[in-house]
Amino acid sequence: MAHTLGHSQYGKAETRVVRVYRDRDPHELVDLNVSVALSGDFADSHLTGDNARVLTTDAVKNTVFAYAQEHAEAARSPESFGLVLARHFVDDVPQVTRARVRIEQHPWRRLAAGGEPAPHAFVRDGQLVRTSTVTCEAGRAHVVTGLRDLVVLKTTDSEFAGFYEDRYTTLQPTTDRVMATSVDAQWWHTGGAVEWGTAFEAARQALCEAFAASYSRALQQTLFEMGSAVLDAVPGVGEVRLSLPNRHHFAVDLSPFGLDNPNEVFFAADRPYGLIEGTVRREGAPEPGPAFDPGQGWSA
């Protein structure tokens, strides 16, 4: 019966806030999904149901909406919006010792009408989701930027050979295959004075270019090159974590039908898939501490 409370946290998850900037023409638009997790002195609520120190998750939601209005410029980037929110909870709510704010940003592009950019109409750009994790504790803020659902594919320049063989190995080596993955990447900013939008765009482009330009002898090798490219492109980044599913494309055997298949017709399989995860660090960078949310996809 003598059980004890270990680590705990709570908050409001997935508050969907769309911020429209109407004080300029054309309008602008930011579309965010905000999740807040608070840690601190909340044991009473668990142990006795005394909620005297519990900031309601409803108030957390209200704060997200109110801050989108009051901190209009901060809300333009998930990193800066996460920073004002996380600092608020730690600074203004005494019993909160750590706040972690995870934000997904869904990109939109401006539509055109009559050959001109439309001032008030947008289309969702589904190429990727931009992510941010801001953690505030003990007077320090940690910022991680990332993206997911960036799906890329190479039709050649990929081989996989010379691998270890055991009793259960039946795969044939190949010097030419399709390689495809859905990039889930997160990178930690060691410093704070960052132009978030510019830095994100540089990292996104670095990931794409490294994937496109590299000759791949293994998805592991490509992962390292992609992480290195982010470090090269964004100076303040100390560490990059990548989780890359190997979305298998199997060349279909068409010989029963009297047909050749010189790597032209592929079956895109769902499951199982390879899953390659790795960390690329800048030499001499400090340790990231609590910057990365361990529950967020990448599993150490």
Residues 169-198 binding its own copies (CB under 8 A) are: 169-171, 178
Residue 136 structure tokens: 């505030």
Q: What's the CA gap between 88 and 249, in Å, rounded? A: 47
Segment interacting with its own copies, rule: CB under 8 A, options 79-87, 186-194, 195-203, 264-272: 264-272
Residue closer to its own copies (CB basis): 192 or 254? 254
Report the phi/psi class of residue 68: left, alpha or beta, with left for phi > 0 and alpha for psi in -120 to 50. Answer: alpha
Q: Which of 24, 138, 139, 167 binds its own copies (CB under 8 A)?
A: 167
- Please answer whether residues 99 and 110 qualify as being in contact, where contact means their C-beta atoms are separated by less than 8 angstroms: no
Give the residue among 181, 134, 150 at the shortest CA–CA distance from 32.
134
Instruction: Please compute, for residue 120, the number of CA atoms within 13 A of its CA located in the half-sphere on the CB side.
Output: 2
| Residue 1 C-beta: closest distance to its own copies, Å | 7
Question: Is residue 254 near its own copies by the rule CB under 8 A?
Answer: yes
Catalytic residue numbers read 12, 57, 248
Of 79-87, 137-145, 192-200, 273-281, the segment contacting its own copies by CB under 8 A is: 273-281
**Window 193 to 252, contacts with its own copies (CB under 8 A):** 208-209, 211-213, 216-218, 220-221, 223-224, 227-228, 231-232, 239, 245-246, 249, 252
Q: What Cα–Cα distance (Å) separates residue 261 from each residue in 16, 252, 253, 292?
A: 47, 7, 7, 45
Rounded Cα distance between 135 and 90, Å, is 10
> Residues 83 to 142: which contact its own copies by CB under 8 A?
92-93, 95, 100, 108, 111-114, 118, 120-128
Contact 158, 179 (CB under 8 A): yes
Tell the smallest beta-carbon distance from residue 90 to its own copies (Å). 13
Site for its own copies in 29-68 (CB under 8 A): 29, 31, 35, 37, 42, 45-63, 65-66, 68
